[in-house]
Amino acid sequence: MIKFKDVNKIYPNGVTALKNVNLTIDQGEFVAIIGLSGAGKSTLIRCINRMHEINEGTLTVNDVNVGQLSGKQIRSFRRKIGMIFQSFNLVTRTSVINNVLISSVPELSWWRKFVGLFPKEKKVEALEALDKVGILDKAYNRVDQLSGGQQQRVALARTIAQNPDIILADEPVASLDPVTAKVVMDDFKRINQETNMSILINIHHVELALEYADRVIGIRQGEVVYDGKSEDVSQDVLDQIYGSADNVPKMDEPEEAEV
């Protein structure tokens, strides 16, 4: 369970990214976070694994107070939270399977880290993760030989191999064409249903949010202005989140820089 209680986040430049956020997200939920660029979507999910520090309030994950963690505690805590980025964050000059195996590096003994030797069971887990996202046949290809959609699926496989309780995805399909974006979202949905991992996706495209997520959280200027079932999102709700229908992003419109 993820719980925000009266959470505020103010950046050093004075920008208030989150205002009095109160949310509870249960294990296994598939949640899409929508809103205008700069509304605070990325900040919200990046506070969960403490990539960003909150200024006020309390944020707990599985009864752990995130703000009270330090040093090794933070690293151990983050092992149970997978993070996927728009830019994939892969090592493009090595193989797909090596990128997936990176997720197991923290669990290796020092000498295995030194020589880069992974146990057989970790290789099996990496191959199984690639199979789950439909690119097992690319396991020994270099990453820079793959399309953008395939690279994002490698990033998802790497996260699955980490065996987290929660997956956070920060605009994972914003740089993909509409057809490829749906393929990747299909993978997210299937993983959510098969593993009961909680998945929170900060997503630019409202159509995808409504099609794939069970729950939608709408943010406007750092405040949660909608929290409910995707099927209950009406035009009035979208107007509340985006200001007007003209501001609602279309599938062929790129995402701008987010706060």
Domain that holds residue 258: 1-76+212-259
pLDDT of residue 253: 54
pLDDT of residue 76: 86
pLDDT of residue 30: 97
**Residue 158 in domain:** no
Q: What is the pLDDT of residues 4-52, one digit of tens each?
A: 999 999 999 989 999 999 999 999 999 999 999 889 999 999 999 999 9
**Residue 137 in domain:** no
| Intervals of the chain under pLDDT 70 | 104-118, 250-259
Structural domain count of the chain: 1
**Residue 22 in domain:** yes
**Residue 11 in domain:** yes
**Residue 157 in domain:** no
**Residue 13 in domain:** yes
With a CB cutoff of 8 Å and minimum separation 6, the contacts of 222 are 9, 16, 17, 18, 19, 21, 39, 40, 43
Q: What is the C-alpha to C-alpha distance for residues 82 and 222, in angstroms, rounded to an integer?
A: 24
pLDDT of residue 243: 85
pLDDT of residue 247: 76
CATH number of the domain that residue 69 is part of: 3.40.50.300
**Residue 32 in domain:** yes
pLDDT of residue 72: 85
With a CB cutoff of 8 Å and minimum separation 6, the contacts of 91 are 98, 99, 102, 143
**Residue 254 in domain:** yes
